[in-house]
Amino acid sequence: MGFMRDVEIVWDDLLEAFDNPESDVIFFLDRETGEIFAVPADYEDDEFWHDLEESDERFIQIPGFDYDQERLLLHEFIRGVENDALKRMLERAFEGKRPFGKLDEILSFYPEEFDRFMARKEEIISERIRHWLEEHDLFGEEEEF
Hey, what's the torsion of the CAs at 105, 109, 110, 112, to 10 degrees?
90
Residue finishing a domain among 64, 89, 109: 64
Could you tell me the pTM of the whole model?
0.74
Predicted pLDDT of residue 5: 57
59 and 98 belong to one structural domain: no
Total structural domains in the chain?
2
57 and 74 belong to one structural domain: no
Per-residue pLDDT tens digits for 94-139? 887 555 567 888 899 999 999 999 999 899 899 999 999 988 888 6
Predicted pLDDT of residue 138: 80
User: Is 72 within a domain?
Assistant: yes
Answer yes or no: is pLDDT of 3 > 80: no
SS3 of residue 94 by DSSP: helix
35 and 51 belong to one structural domain: yes
Per-residue pLDDT tens digits for 76-85? 999 999 999 9
Domain range spanning residue 74? 67-124
d(C-alpha 133, C-alpha 107), whole Å: 32
